[in-house]
Amino acid sequence: MKKTLRFTLNGHPQEVEVSPDLTLLQLLREHFQLTGAKEGCGVGECGACTVMVDGRALSSCLLPALEVEGCQVLTVEGLAGPDGSLDPIQEAFVEHGAIQCGFCTPGMVMSAKALLERNPHPDENQIRTALEGNLCRCTGYTQIIEAVKSAAARKS
Amino acid sequence: MEEFEYLIPKNLPEALALKARGGPGAVFVAGGTDVQVLRRAGRLHCQSLISLRRLPELKEIAQEGDTISLGAGATLSELLESALVRENLPILCDALEVMGCTQMRNLATLGGNVMSAVASGDTLPPLLCLEASCLLVSARDRRRVPITKMFTGPRATAARPEEILLALEVPRPAPRQCGAFIKLGRRAALDLAVVSLAAQITLDRQNRTIQEVRLAAGAVGPTPLRLQGAEEVLRGAAPEPEVLARAAAAAQEECSPWDDVRASRWYRREMIGVWLPRVVAKALARGGVEVRP
């Protein structure tokens, strides 16, 4: 039986009927057409589906959509300003070439965003820990770590 | 067939009532990092899931007298952010830090790790060393099961189906206790333990002898286990490399590892021998005693 779910998505209040088996990832991609978050593994081990819920990065493939009742959900689509200006993390990813095929990128960016909101001046270890759940098969990670470092420096 | 339901009770009595109504087909879930994965793999069949994520009764991390109570519904991240846990339970923090990844630590709960009851559960050797007790609650009563009696087999616990694990109660370690946990995986993050070890040690006043010691291992038997033979070797002994080596040999004797995709029985036993002195040395270093195993 479907239930009514109310939550805030990228700053906008939403009310939607969802079935009990629907994951947050499916809700985002299939109902809201927000296809930034990806399904990589479907079991919480690759980070491609990372979004922020009430300020914390988590795997949206593991979370039933009904669990975000009353929560603030932020996806990569919610990062850019109303004028289309990119978040400093996104800018840094572009500048550092921290991207190749792009499949992992929205998840990487959201993990970095959650880190910098909690800890605006992370050291390299803290950056690596925040991103340890995001797998990338192309870049070799170095550019990504550099991008997050430079975004953190830019914020200060 | 009835339709699958996902139920989100607001408090503990509501959760217990939903379980009473749902019977064996209703399964409790907290962070979902285990239950949801099992369901998707077709290894868990249920009529409904009862979510424990929003129960305020399961969230508290507090000290009452000499007991530290860790709410079963506290996420691994919340525990790591607790000053009480950081200051008193470094042995547990060592384990929390190497579990899964940030996204998983934001979902997974301590109670979930206990109730999943797999031999490789990272918080389990520390909880065994801390002699935690499991506070279980049902509609009828409340009871405490010592963690040493909790694990009855792979994925099996002493909890009755209608019971909810409310909290892990840990006696607050005395000032001269020191503890540590180490885990060997195939990679640093996002992996289950090939072997894990925990040690909680009480030194005498001069730091010359090990007065009391508790050791536990994960992933080397059907359940996480206390290494009482190795403890016997260390108890009352001086913290010296030769003593640590004898304790390691005793630990190798008393564990019963198996072969699986992550490692062979032989390798696990060898690693217990290498890593037991290391975990003891790491704990001792926190107590101000340097030993090179």
Name residue B181's beta-bridge partners: B198
Radius of gyration of chain B from its Cα atoms, rounded to whole angstroms:
19
Query: Is residue A15 exposed (0-12), middle (13-18) or buried (19+ Cβ within 10 Å)?
Result: exposed
Bridge-based pairing state of the strands B156-157 and B225-226: unpaired
Chain A residues whose beta carbon lies within 8 Å of the beta carbon of residue B189: 132-133
Who contacts B5 (Cβ-Cβ below 8 Å, separation ≥6)? A1, A20, B47, B48, B49
Report yes or no: A111 at the B interface, CB cutoff 8 Å: yes
Chain B residues whose beta carbon lies within 8 Å of the beta carbon of residue A130: 102
Give the start-to-end residue ranges of the domains of chain A.
3-78, 88-155
CATH topology of domain A3-78: Ubiquitin-like (UB roll) (3.10.20)
Closest Cα of chain B to A83: distance in Å? 30
Read off the pLDDT of residues B14-41 as tens digits, 9 standing for 90 and up.
Answer: 999 999 999 999 999 999 999 999 999 9
Q: Do B106 and A21 touch (CB under 8 A)?
A: no
Q: Do B4 and A20 touch (CB under 8 A)?
A: yes
Select from B190, B183, B199, B270 the least CA-distant residue to B233.
B199
Domains of chain B with CATH codes: 5-51 (3.30.43), 56-171 (3.30.465.10), 177-286 (3.30.390.50)
Is the pLDDT score of A34 beyond 70? Answer: yes
| Closest in A42, A115, A132 to B190, CB measured | A132
Who contacts B98 (Cβ-Cβ below 8 Å, separation ≥6)? B122, B183, B185, B188, B189
Whole-structure pTM value: 0.96
A20/A35 Cα distance (integer angstroms) = 21
Per-residue pLDDT, B259: 87
Read off the pLDDT of residues B47-71 as tens digits, 9 standing for 90 and up.
Answer: 999 999 999 999 999 999 999 999 9
How large is the average pLDDT for residues B209-221? 95
Q: Which residues of B168-190 are buried (b: 16+ CB within 10 A; e: fewer)?
A: bbbebbeeebbbbbbbbbeeebb
B163/B151 Cα distance (integer angstroms) = 15
Per-residue pLDDT, B1: 52
Read off the pLDDT of residues B219-257 as tens digits, 9 standing for 90 and up.
Answer: 998 999 999 999 999 999 999 999 999 999 999 999 988
Q: At what angle do helices A88-95 and A105-118 cross, to 10 degrees?
A: 130
Extract the tokens encoding B211. Answer: 């007065």
Query: Position of tokens 């830019």?
Result: A154
Among A110-114, B66-70, B193-197, the minimum mean pLDDT is found in: B193-197
Bridge-based pairing state of the strands B210-218 and B195-203: antiparallel
Question: DSSP letters along B153-221, please?
Answer: ETTEESS-TT-EEEEEEEEPPPTTEEEEEEEE-SSSSS---SEEEEEEEEE-TTS-SEEEEEEEEESSS
User: With DSSP H G I counted as helix, E B as strand and the rest as coil, what are the percentages for chain B, rounded to 5?
Assistant: 35, 25, 40
* Shortest CA distance from B36: residue in chain A: A62
Per-residue pLDDT, B217: 97
Per-residue pLDDT, A139: 83
Closest Cα of chain B to A20: distance in Å? 5
Who contacts B218 (Cβ-Cβ below 8 Å, separation ≥6)? B119, B120, B121, B122, B124, B125, B183, B193, B195, B196, B197, B198, B224
Assigned architecture for domain A88-155: Orthogonal Bundle (1.10)
Per-residue pLDDT, B194: 87
